[in-house]
Chains A and B, each alone.
Chain A
Amino acid sequence: MATDKYYIPEHGSPWPVVASVGLFTTAFGAAEFIHQSFNPDSYPGAWGKFVFMAGLAILLVTVTLWWRDTIRESVGGLHNRVLGGSYRQGMMWFIFSEVMFFGAFFGALFYTRWLIVPWLGGAGNNAMTHELLWPNFQSMWPLVMTPDGRATQAMEAWGLPALNTAVLLTSSVTLTIGHHALIEGKRGRLIFFQFLTVLLGISFLSLQAVEYHHAYTEMGLTLHAGIYGSLFFMLTGFHGAHVTIGTIFLIITLTRVIRGHFSADNCFAWEASAWYWHFVDVVWLFLFVCVYWL
């Protein structure tokens, strides 16, 4: 490693405060976008959308430049093993926070399946709840008929979702082959398998788009279809968003592999993208079992 000194940007960095402006612009724009879209009588105008998009653009540019700085520092030999440790630990805790975010929605799923729906159907000491609120309501899961009578269909696990499971599992295998190639210094092999991983990621997202289209147009399974649709789309949707981020992350590290930025003992960004990918893979397995299958 190039240096013993722990790297601290000597003259500061403008990106954190600019990124905060970006977040603020995004948040404020999103709120006004929502108000102007859903309540145009009280909120005339259509500028919220543009403020929102401007905020996203600021964030995108900032993240790019921030990463450019750290990549330059890394390539310039300013990082050392201790800093690499900080980055790795930081990434692990970030992934843990993501696990907890999904945990909130999985918790809502289990609470709904095991308690709310049976209770609305009269389970436990809730006979009167059932009788007084919606006496015709049938407790079942997936909930294809809401208490107030909205009907939908359940998503079948052993069609497209099973195929997507195979796609995502395969992508984890190809990425691991790439990881071994990175450790052994076989760059051509790494590029090939990482490229394959990215392709599989894009395939997954395309298939999910097909699935969503099918759900919305043919099955009546939408965000408005009661708690089953709510949980289905929020869980798979946030997962899909994470696959998108993971794919972009892999594309970025792939370009850096091609430029020869990584070696077996200096490859934090690559490892972070790989960890992130395995994380979205594991989340999917839970989704497949808990949302689609059982």
Chain B
Amino acid sequence: MTTATATHDAHHDHHHAPSGLKRWLFSTNHKDIGTMYLWFSFAMFMTGGFMAMVIRAELLEPGMQFVDPEFFNQMTTVHGLVMVFGAVMPAFVGLANWMIPLMVGAPDMALPRMNNWSFWILPFAFTLLIGSVLMSAFAPGHPAAPDFGWTFYAPLSTTYGPDSTDLFVFSVHMMGISSIMGAINVIVTVLNLRAPGMTLMKMPLFVWTWLITAFLLIAVMPVLAGAVTMVLMDRHFGTSFFDAAGGGDPVLFQHVFWFFGHPEVYIMILPSFGIVSAILPTFSRKPLFGYASMVYATASIALLSFVVWAHHMFTVGLPLAGTLFFMYMTMLISVPTGVKVFNWVATMWRGSLTFELPMKWAIAFVVLFTCGGLSGLMLAITPVDFQYHDTYFVVAHFHYVLVTGAIFSIFAAAYYWLPKWSGVMPSKLLGELHFWSSLISANLLFFPMHFVGLAGMPRRYADYALQFADYNFWISIGGFWFGLSQLLFVAVAVRCAMKKGEKAPANPWGAADGLEWEVPSPAPFHTHETPPLIK
């Protein structure tokens, strides 16, 4: 594709990476900022995971064991918030930071200072949020942390919200500011800084999916800001948005929230599609089966995501016409999603497949994400949803798309690009252990949730009826196993960061295509300072 490797070697590196704390605090380098995002996201993944362990410990056996129900509610709430806003989204932004400038031949992100601001807001926002949990757990008499579920439905968050709700509101404002600025940076980098010759329809699919994701972020994060603002006003300033006595309606909250919330779901999966569409062709040694159809399918999913939000609300008593509209629109999403899944399968069909670590994660993604997609289709059917609503079936569904979907794709991306980031190959032994251990435990953890959900076990309860005891025991075992398995990834990542392992060539996967493989491994501090040639 280019001769960038040669020019890089010849080009004497007069820009040394700045050193010390300032390098990270004052950074304007997309690679350093990407690295910070990725470590932050992993720290949040472990934090949110720890909360999940508390939940699973309490649910190991029926009856109350370790925590009181109030604290259990705080755990489910903050686990969700931390995983969505702290783990999955920042991981994707970190990947975007690292890879998009490399992939489109740009010298850096378009707005480097704003890029650093987007990152540095996050640790402060999560200090506000997690601080309220620590206070609640360790400072006696201190008010509870947010306990209304990550969806913070009114009136749980308004009339009945604990005092910490206000800290939660402001931390969500901050996360929103961070996401919007990050998304603006991605869009502008993609639209304005592509190397000459990198036409839109030549862009890697990871770039395409992130471009569309960024659009979704800019469109819906402000709506979330509106929702938390209305909550704050209702709580303290006498407004009646969610209060029927003043002419408002608690259901209004759900509309505003899910207008954000459903596109948010795709924000957390579209970049995964891009990652998998990069990895499968590499290890199948075949180009992607249908590039253009992938682009159009991604755009269709994004557009449809704006007209399906009320499928989260089938049981609140919507008018029949509305219910039907949202049901059919939701089922329509399975068409472009099917286009994607068939595309991936057709890419692998009759390819010269090899099963290196990224490929293993990517194949697991295709299979298990499809599983989560199918349970989503079941939930889309209104009368069926009446049965499934707020049961563990829903929990199973969204953990299949978010854990074995989004998180698995993030691991796939990490194993795929770690050689480029660190210059060394991730440990095969640890990686294999991490993969198989995660794969088996995740299914032990999430698959039985379908059954207890169908049998009627409600979500977000600290206790359950006796007939669910056996399944819940095994779910909890799967949970602890999955949680512990992630320590293996700590070892993989730390070894790479310490440059321990086999040295990686510029293109360690051989058949990998794309500008990022044209620069040396590890990628130099500055890349593409002069635009690469694109044939």
Name the CB-closest residue of B to A89: B188
Tell yes or no: B248 within 8 A of A by CB: yes
Name the CB-closest residue of A to B23: A12
Interface members, chain A 52-71 (any B CB < 8 Å): 66
B128 and A89: CB pair below 8 A? no
Contact pattern, A 220-237, Cβ under 8 Å of B = 1, otherwise 0: 001110111110011000
A13 and B128: CB pair below 8 A? no
Distance of A85 Cα from B189 Cα, bound (Å) = 10
Also in contact, A112 and B247, with CB within 8 A (given A34-B166, A97-B180): yes
Interface members, chain B 22-39 (any A CB < 8 Å): 22-23, 25-29
| Residue in contact with B191 in the complex, picked from A16, A87, A89, A124, CB distance below 8 Å | A89
Distance of A248 Cα from B281 Cα, bound (Å) = 53
B192 and A116: CB pair below 8 A? no
B167 and A28: CB pair below 8 A? yes
Also in contact, A143 and B247, with CB within 8 A (given A20-B120, A230-B233): yes
A147 and B114: CB pair below 8 A? no
Tell yes or no: A105 within 8 A of B by CB: yes
Tell yes or no: A11 within 8 A of B by CB: yes
B26 and A226: CB pair below 8 A? no
Name the CB-closest residue of A to B238: A224
Tell yes or no: B135 within 8 A of A by CB: no
Interface size on A, residues (CB 8 A): 70
A124 and B259: CB pair below 8 A? no
A-B complex: 7 closest residue pairs judged by Cβ atoms = A104-B226, A12-B26, A16-B117, A27-B170, A230-B239, A227-B247, A101-B222
Q: How far is the CB of A116 from chain B (nearest CB, A)?
A: 4
B184 and A94: CB pair below 8 A? yes
B230 and A86: CB pair below 8 A? no
Q: Which residues of A contact B259 (CB under 8 A)?
A: 104, 107
Complex interface: stretch among B171-179, B366-374, B381-389: B171-179
Tell yes or no: B244 within 8 A of A by CB: yes
Distance of A230 Cα from B125 Cα, bound (Å) = 28
Interface members, chain B 121-146 (any A CB < 8 Å): 121, 123-125, 127-128, 143
Q: Which chain A residues have a beta carbon within 8 Å of chain B's beta carbons? A: 5-6, 8-17, 19-21, 23-24, 27-28, 30-31, 34-35, 38-39, 42, 66, 82, 85-87, 89-90, 93-94, 96-98, 100-101, 103-105, 107-108, 111-112, 115-117, 119-120, 124, 133-134, 143, 146-148, 150, 222-224, 226-230, 233-234
A89 and B221: CB pair below 8 A? no
Q: Which residues of B contact A15 (CB under 8 A)?
A: 113, 117
Complex interface: stretch among B64-72, B103-111, B293-301, B395-403: B103-111
Q: Which residues of B contact A19 (CB under 8 A)?
A: 117, 120
A27 and B171: CB pair below 8 A? yes
Name the CB-closest residue of A to B226: A104
Q: Which residues of B contact A87 (CB under 8 A)?
A: 111
A111 and B245: CB pair below 8 A? no
Q: Which residues of A contact B222 (CB under 8 A)?
A: 97-98, 100-101, 103-104
Q: Which residues of A contact B229 (CB under 8 A)?
A: 234
Q: Which residues of B contact A5 (CB under 8 A)?
A: 529
Q: Which residues of A contact B252 (CB under 8 A)?
A: 108, 111-112, 116
Q: Which residues of A contact B112 (CB under 8 A)?
A: 8-9
A146 and B28: CB pair below 8 A? no
A108 and B241: CB pair below 8 A? yes
Q: Which residues of B contact A14 (CB under 8 A)?
A: 25-26
Q: Provide the main secondary structure of the chain A interface.
A: helix
| Residue in contact with B247 in the complex, picked from A30, A89, A146, A224, CB distance below 8 Å | A146
Q: Which residues of B contact A34 (CB under 8 A)?
A: 166, 236
Distance of A11 Cα from B529 Cα, bound (Å) = 16
Distance of A22 Cα from B239 Cα, bound (Å) = 28
Q: Which residues of B contact A98 (CB under 8 A)?
A: 222
| Residue in contact with B28 in the complex, picked from A9, A31, A104, CB distance below 8 Å | A9
Name the CB-closest residue of A to B259: A107
Name the CB-closest residue of A to B218: A97
A89 and B113: CB pair below 8 A? no
A223 and B233: CB pair below 8 A? yes
Tell yes or no: B288 within 8 A of A by CB: no
**A28-B170, A86-B188 are known contacts; what are 10 more A-B pairs with Cβ within 8 Å?**
A16-B26, A86-B111, A90-B110, A90-B185, A97-B218, A97-B222, A100-B218, A108-B230, A230-B240, A234-B230
A104 and B256: CB pair below 8 A? yes
| Residue in contact with B255 in the complex, picked from A111, A224, A228, CB distance below 8 Å | A111
B163 and A35: CB pair below 8 A? yes
B255 and A120: CB pair below 8 A? no
A13 and B113: CB pair below 8 A? yes
A17 and B25: CB pair below 8 A? yes
User: Which of B143, B236, B247 is packed against the most chain A CB atoms within 10 Å?
Assistant: B247
Q: Which residues of A contact B233 (CB under 8 A)?
A: 223, 230, 234
A97 and B113: CB pair below 8 A? no
Q: Which residues of B contact A93 (CB under 8 A)?
A: 183-184, 187-188, 218
Q: Which residues of A contact B226 (CB under 8 A)?
A: 101, 103-105, 108
Q: Which residues of A contact B127 (CB under 8 A)?
A: 24
Tell yes or no: B307 within 8 A of A by CB: no
